Amino acid sequence: MAIPAQFENQLELPIIGAPLFIISTPDLVIAQCKAGIAGSFPALNARPQPELSTWLTRIEDELAAHKEENPNAVIAPYGVNQIVHHSNDRLDADFETIIEHKVPLIITSLGVPEKKYIDRIHEYGGIIMSDVISVRHAKKVISAGVDGLILVCAGAGGHAGTLSPFALVSEVREFFDGPLALSGSIANGQSILSTQALGADFAYLGTAFIATTEANADQGYKDSLVECAASDIVYSSLFTGVLGNYLKPSVKNAGLDPDNLPEADKTKMNFGSGGNTGAKAWKDIWGAGQGTGSIHAVESVADVMARFKREYTGALDNLKHVVRD
C-alpha cells in the first residue's frame, strides 16, 4: 500500500470524499473529516474568490477545536480541488490561497498542474493527486511531479471515463507505485474493500455523500438518488463539453430526451451550461454515478460512515472464510 505519511493513522476507512461542484461546502467537508475520511471541495465552490480563505479558516478552526475536545478521535485531513483547465480564470489566485493555508491535499482535474505550484505545495508538505481517465493522462501528470492518481473509471458520477477499474488499475500499477485512489460506482463497504483488493489505496466516493443531510444539494436531488438505480444514469457530453454521468429524471425535467442527446463541442467547454436549455449543469442537471442503487435513504455523514464500516468489516470477514491457506 502507498498511503502518504500525512494520512497514516488518520483515516477510519480508506476513503477520499470527492469534491462535488456546488454540493461540497465546509459543512460536508467538516462532517467527513470528523467521521474519519478525507473530505474535499472544489475551490470554485467558494464565491467570490476571497471566500475561499474564509472557508479554509473555518474548516481548519473547527477541526482543530474538535481534536482538542476529542483528543483520541481520528480526524482526517481535508483537501481542495483545482480545475487546471485554461478556462478557470481563478486558478492562480486560488493556488495562492491554498498555499497560504498549507492545504494538506490538493486534487487537480482536467489538465496538468504547473510545476511552479507543485514545487511550492511540496515545500510545505502538501500532497497533490490528479484525477485521470486513461494511462496516457496518468503518465502526463506523473511526469509533471504529482504524488498520486485518482482513477476515474466507468460508472463514476459527473465527469467520468469509460475504462473498467480492473483494466486501469492493473495497467497503472505496472509503472506507478505511489498513492492511488479509485472512483466508479463505489457506494457501499463491499466496494470500498474491493478497491484495495484491486491494488488501490483509497476509494474515491462522491454520489453516496450527495444524499446526506450535510450536502448542499436540493432535496429533490437527494430523493432522486434514493429512488434511482444504475439504469437511471445517462452518459453525455452535452451539458459541459466533457463526458459525464447524470440522473435521467433531471435531464427529463430540463425538457430533453435522455436517450437521444446530441454531443457537445469539447472545444467549447462550459461547466455551467445545461446544453441547449435554460438548465444549468450540476444545479439542474444532476450528476450521479452508477452506484446510486446502493443508496436507500438520506442520512447524515456519520450514519453513512457507520453503514460503510459494517459493510466493510462484514465483507472482510466473509473473505476470510472463503480464502484458504
Give CA–CA dist 46/63, Å, rounded. Answer: 19
Contacts of 185 (CB under 8 A, 6+ apart): 154, 155, 156, 191, 230, 289, 290, 291
| 39-42/78-83 β-pairing | parallel
Return the pLDDT at 42: 97
DSSP state of 130: E
Return the pLDDT at 7: 82
CA distance readout (Å), 25 to 30, 32, 39, 121: 9, 11, 10, 22
| Burial (CB count within 10 angstroms: exposed 0-12, middle 13-18, buried 19+), residue 198 | middle
Closest by Cα among 149, 147, 113 to 132: 149
Beta strands in 93-210 (DSSP E): 105-109, 127-132, 148-152, 158-159, 180-183, 202-205
Q: Which residue has the cell 425535467?
A: 253
Give CA–CA dist 206/187, Å, rounded. Answer: 8
Contacts of 83 (CB under 8 A, 6+ apart): 42, 43, 44, 91, 108, 109, 110, 111, 271
From first to last of its 325 residues, the chain has per-residue pLDDT tens of 577 877 888 999 999 999 999 999 999 999 999 999 999 999 999 999 999 999 999 999 999 999 999 999 999 999 999 999 888 999 999 999 999 999 999 999 989 999 999 999 999 999 999 999 999 999 999 999 999 999 999 999 888 889 999 999 999 999 999 999 999 999 999 999 999 999 999 999 999 999 999 999 999 999 999 999 999 999 998 888 888 999 999 999 988 988 888 887 655 555 444 444 456 666 789 999 999 999 999 999 999 999 999 999 999 998 887 766 5
Return the pLDDT at 324: 63
Return the pLDDT at 275: 45
Give the ranges where 202-285 is alpha helix by DSSP (H): 207-210, 219-227, 248-253
Radius of gyration of the chain (CA): 19
Give CA–CA dist 50/47, Å, rounded. Answer: 7
Q: What is the pTM of this model?
A: 0.92
Return the pLDDT at 279: 63
Strands of the sheet with 158-159, listed across from one edge: 158-159, 244-247, 233-236
